[in-house]
Each structure stands twice: as structure tokens, then as C-alpha cells.
Amino acid sequence: MRIGVYPGTFDPITLGHLDIIRRGAKLVDLLVIGVTTNPSKSPMFTLDERLAMVERECADLGDKIRVVSFDDLLMSFAEKQGASVIVRGLRAVADFEYEFQMAGMNQQLNDRIETVFLMADVALQPIASKLVKEIAIYGGAIGKFVTPEVEREVAAKVSAAGRRGS
């Protein structure tokens, strides 16, 4: 069985993430979506909320997908999952530079796991979770970037926190 890992914080999951998940799932028998904490980011959603969000948004993919949390080196997590492939999405040149360096480091840690890059759909390339949150915080519409349910969840978080700049 060919297992792939698609890691991320998914805070929140965007249409760009979903595009990479759907396409990545075609390359492997099982795609493990690794939802991680990232100490350099301040998440809007808790880990449990993000896990539930990703599971709900990927439910139509059935047994091709497994959603798991992790707080470990990516290569250690991938080994524990039995993965032979890491799936990463690329949006722009800046992504490539970072991802290229990360893939090289990961290969040094474990050369049995390949990194596969998928280019984001052209219409989805500008989407980034960080920008989606920023747009929402300042009252902008995010419906073009996330599913309706995620849009409602982001709006509820923004409302609960109170809008900045008011």
C-alpha cells in the first residue's frame, strides 16, 4: 500500500488545501493529512477544531484519507505512518524556495521518503490561510477562498474575538 502524508496547520483549511488533498489522494492508496501545531504561528482554531474541520471537508473522499494530529518532526511522523511520499503544494516562487530547502533537509533525515510537489490550481494560487484570516478579521469576504461551512466558522471566531480596528 502506497501511503502519502500531506502536512499542514490548516488554520483554516482553504480551497487551495482541498485541491491539493484531492489531487494528492489520486497519487497514493492512502493520504494521511497531518494536522500539526506550529509554534511560530498563532492559530485561530484549536487543534481539535482544525482536525474536525479537515475531517468534515474531506469526508467525501472516504477511506482514501485519514486525518491525524502530530507534534513531531515531519519525517518522524511520516515514518510512523508508513509513508513513502510527502505531498506539498506550491503556490509561488517563494513557496518553492522554502519547500526546496525543506525537502533537501528532509531527504537528509530519511532518503526513503520522497517529496512530491503539486502546483496549486491557477485560480487558487493566491490563497493562504494567513491572508484568509486577515481578510476576515478586517471584515472582508472570504467565500471565494474557503467552503461555506469554514466561512461560517471563521466568522464566528472573528465575532467572538471582536473585530480589530473598531
Residues belonging to the active site:
17, 41, 91, 129
Locus of grid cell 478586517: 138
Handedness of CA 138, 140, 146, 147 (dihedral sign): positive
**Helices vs. strands in the chain: H and E counts, helices first:** 6, 5
Locus of grid cell 467552503: 147
H or E stretch at 141: none
φ, ψ at 150 (rounded to 5°): -65, -40
3 state DSSP class of 28: coil
Q: How big is the CA angle at 119 (ends 16 and 114), to the nearest 5 degrees? A: 110
Alpha-carbon gap, residue 7 to 16, rounded angstroms: 14
